[in-house]
Structure formats: C-alpha cells, structure tokens
Amino acid sequence: MFDDGVGSSGTAAQLPGAESDCALIDLIADLHARESMLVERKLAAIAEFFERRSADHTDNGAWSSTAHELAEAELGAALTMGRAAAGKLIGLGFSLKTRLHRTRAAMARGELDLY
C-alpha cells in the first residue's frame, strides 16, 4: 500500500528517503500522519460494522445489548483482542461517527492521532 519501507526490516540507512537525520525525522512524521489516517479508516469501518450488527439484532427500534456483545466478540476475534478492548474501539469509532466530526476529520487528514 505504501512505498516507504513499511513492513521491511533493516537499518535506517535502508529506508528510502532517510539519508540524513532530518530526512529520517520527516519520514517518521509522514508515517505517523499516515498511521493516523489508517486508524481513522479502521474506526470508521468498526462503527459501520457495529451499526450493521445492531440493525440485525434490534426489534421495533429498541437497542439490544446482545448486538453490542456479539459485535465485540466478532471484532475481538478478528483483531485478536479481548471483548473489552474491542468494545472500546466500537465506542470510539461510533463517537467519531456520530458526535466528534471535527476530531474525525483531523484524524483523516493525519493531524491528530489516536493517542
């Protein structure tokens, strides 16, 4: 996906665009911004997944805790994490989608990270 040496191993001298210390810092900053963009996309996908699962398990517009538990379990298995950690991602993704629009936009631009 990216051609910045992501996923390759080796020394900094083998990283493209990292010939000097300043260039290496620029590369690190660029990768950090790209990571933020990817996290925003992942959280958006998680929020969409949760909405779909919720729609599958609701009756007459009533929210079901079972839907949330099932979504946590399925997401946790896919991401190799526990249900609690998956639940936190669902909550964050859903908040970014429904309430924190400017925060989500800043993440999508790579200006704000998950931390």
Instruction: Break the chain into its structural domains and give their ranges.
Output: 15-108
Q: How many CA atoms lie within 13 A of 71 on its CB side?
A: 25
pLDDT at 6: 52
pLDDT under 70: residue ranges of the chain: 1-13, 17, 56, 58-64
DSSP state of 3: -
Interior CA angle at 90 toward 36 and 44, to 5°?
Answer: 45
Interior CA angle at 113 toward 1 and 17, to 5°?
Answer: 45
CA distance 69 to 56: 13
- Residue 13 CB: number of other CB atoms within 10 A? 8
pLDDT at 53: 85
96-111 core/surface letters (b: 16 or more CB in 10 A; e: else): bbeeeeeebeebbebe
pLDDT at 1: 47
Nearest to 72 by CA among 48, 53, 45: 53
